[in-house]
Amino acid sequence: MRTLRFSLACLTVSAFALAAGCSPAPVVSDVSAAQIADLQKQVAEMQERIAIDNLLEQYIVALDKRDPTEYAATFWEDATLLGNGQTRVGHDQIKAILDDIPKPSPGSGPVVLRHFTTNDIITINGDKATHTGYWVTYINGPGDASGDKPTLRSIGYYKDEMEKRDGVWKFSKRDIGGDIPKR
């Protein structure tokens, strides 16, 4: 992610420098309007990818915090969430998925849950996008028989559809599949 943001910054600076007639290198070349337009298109696409990547990260943070309001806020009100053999539509039903996540017993201390994602593939087509990726969940806390060591809880995949409405990207459909344990 840092590399993507650094690349975006470099492209943005280069585009503005070229548009202003500045040369970032000792060799000055003619820059056409088409080249500037291409750079602007690349910057706009990178901005969309960063916004989608932020959505994916916000989802994971809200899930690990077990915050139903933040969690549901990553979905459009009419979104569909598929997972654990269930279909949930709308914020109220989507919030309820957090009831399936382990919580500590009173007085037993926190259950630490961490999700990690990898192999993200994002395809953008206007105001719609798709995403596929893998997730891994580790748990550590009372009742998980691990002591102080994190335990692998589950592994799976995401298949997502996202929409940009009023300049904001959110999930319109999220399909959560489990490989271990099989869901």
Average pLDDT taken over every residue of the chain? 83
Regions of the chain short of the pLDDT cut 50:
2, 26-28
With a CB cutoff of 8 Å and minimum separation 6, the contacts of 117 are 56, 60, 133, 134, 135, 136, 158
pLDDT at 149: 75
- Strand-pairing partners, residue 161, are 130, 173
Question: Is 0.85 topped by the overall pTM?
Answer: no
Q: How far apart are the first and last CA of the chain?
A: 30
What pLDDT score was predicted for residue 113?
81
How wide is the angle at C-alpha 42 spanned by C-alphas 36 and 44, nearest 5°?
A: 105
Q: Tens digit of pLDDT for each residue in 73-95?
A: 999 999 999 987 889 999 999 99
Residue pLDDT, tens place only, 153-165: 899 999 999 999 9
pLDDT for the residue 27: 44
Q: Which of 113, 92, 88 is nearest to 102 (CA)?
A: 113
pLDDT at 110: 64
Residue 180's pLDDT is 85
Report which of 125, 119, 151 is spatially closest to residue 138, judged by C-alpha positions.
Answer: 151
Per DSSP, the three-state class of 116 is strand
Taken in order of first residue, the domains within the chain and their CATH numbers are: 2-180 (3.10.450.50)
- Who's near 36: CB < 8 A, 6+ residues apart? 15, 18, 19
Report pLDDT for 84: 79
The reported pLDDT for the residue numbered 19 is 59
Tokens, residue 76: 């459009």
pLDDT score, position 26? 46
